[in-house]
């Protein structure tokens, strides 16, 4: 996918932040197709414009980013969503991953990482490393246990979705399982191709089949599925 073809939506309740991100993305050759000031507007933007990638703040008035994320992924699972926030909180990360986020970036990050993250999300590359995924899943399970025991959650932030127990209707082939394990290890398509001595296009085909069989839309969610089901420990 060429830069000009990557369509991006921005959702943040601060106009200065939106303007800064918009300028950064446009200067990097990305197409900013709309902005939103809150979660409701973010859902509407995703529903009507269907961007390839959404940059979504967590704390917004009316409907927070995690609730917007859940709605966006439910209605348009093909949209990759990156949470961009000042709250570098493991619990938020766990919930974002559980609800379908492709990645999670702090607003304190090097600004040049944001366009790179957008491109990675648009092309299906992983935005979270293995250690971060494991920490997120552990935090998510702890949060679920605590909520069951009556502990309160932060206001207006949804519970993580329960860990799925169902297996894909069509089993993964041996090669697909191997590639899924390499995805969990954080390898991109080129590195997987080199490891298995196959072409990058063949890897991309296998990755598409894996996503379809698992019912996921990106590498992060595929890795989450693999870890939850013991495919990659």
What average pLDDT score do residues 170-196 get? Answer: 89
What pLDDT is recorded for position 167?
60
- pLDDT above 80 for 124: no
What average pLDDT score do residues 15-30 get? Answer: 94
- Distance separating the N- and C-terminal Cα atoms of the chain: 32
* pLDDT tier, 163 (very low <50, low <70, confident <90, very high otherwise): very low
- pLDDT above 70 for 136: no
**Inter-residue contact 75 to 81 (CB < 8 Å):** no
User: Could you tell me the residue ranges of all domains in the chain?
Assistant: 3-130, 164-233
Fold annotation for 164-233: Arc Repressor Mutant, subunit A (1.10.10)
- pLDDT above 80 for 59: yes
* pLDDT tier, 78 (very low <50, low <70, confident <90, very high otherwise): confident
What average pLDDT score do residues 130-135 get? Answer: 63
Does this model's pTM top 0.75? no
Strands of 53-56's sheet in order across:
31-36, 7-11, 53-56, 80-85, 103-106
Architecture of the domain defined by 3-130: 3-Layer(aba) Sandwich (3.40)
- pLDDT above 90 for 125: no
- Per-residue DSSP letters for 142-191? HHHHHHHTTPPPPTTPPPPPPPP-PPPSSPPPHHHHHHHHHHHTT--HHH
What pLDDT is recorded for position 141?
53
What average pLDDT score do residues 44-73 get? Answer: 94
- pLDDT above 90 for 154: no
Fold match between domain 3-130 and domain 164-233: no
Give Cβ neighbours of residue 155 (< 8 Å, ≥ 6 apart).
Answer: none
Higher pLDDT, 113 or 1: 113
* pLDDT tier, 146 (very low <50, low <70, confident <90, very high otherwise): very low
Cα(206)–Cα(200) distance, rounded to whole angstroms?
10
- pLDDT above 60 for 57: yes
Percentage of the residues of the chain whose pLDDT score is greater than 90: 43
Residue 126 DSSP code: -
What average pLDDT score do residues 70-91 get? Answer: 85
Positive or negative CA dihedral for 1, 116, 133, 82? negative
What pLDDT is recorded for position 112?
87
Cα(101)–Cα(220) distance, rounded to whole angstroms?
8
Q: Is 94 in a helix, a strand, or coil? A: helix
């Amino acid at each position: 996918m060429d830069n000009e073809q990557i369509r991006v939506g921005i959702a943040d309740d601060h106009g200065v932040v939106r303007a800064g991100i918009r300028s950064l993305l446009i200067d990097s050759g990305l197409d900013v197709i709309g902005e939103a000031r809150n979660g409701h507007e973010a859902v509407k933007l995703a529903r009507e414009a269907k961007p390839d990638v959404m940059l979504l703040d967590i704390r917004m008035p009316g409907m927070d980013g995690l609730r917007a994320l859940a709605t966006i992924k439910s209605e348009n699972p093909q949209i990759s969503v990156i949470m961009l926030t000042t709250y570098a909180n493991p619990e938020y990360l766990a919930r974002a991953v559980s609800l379908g986020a492709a990645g999670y970036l702090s607003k304190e990050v090097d600004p040049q990482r944001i366009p790179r993250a957008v491109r990675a999300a648009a092309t299906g590359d992983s935005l979270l490393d293995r250690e971060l995924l494991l920490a997120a899943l552990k935090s998510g399970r702890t949060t679920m246990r605590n909520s069951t025991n009556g502990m309160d959650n932060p206001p207006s932030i949804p519970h993580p979705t329960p860990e799925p127990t169902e297996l894909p209707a069509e089993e993964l082939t041996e090669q697909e399982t191997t590639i899924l394990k390499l995805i969990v290890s954080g390898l991109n398509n080129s590195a997987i191709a080199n490891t298995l001595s196959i072409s990058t296009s063949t890897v991309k085909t296998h990755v598409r089949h894996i996503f379809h069989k698992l019912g996921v839309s990106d590498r992060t969610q595929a890795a989450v599925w693999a870890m939850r089901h013991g495919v990659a420990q």
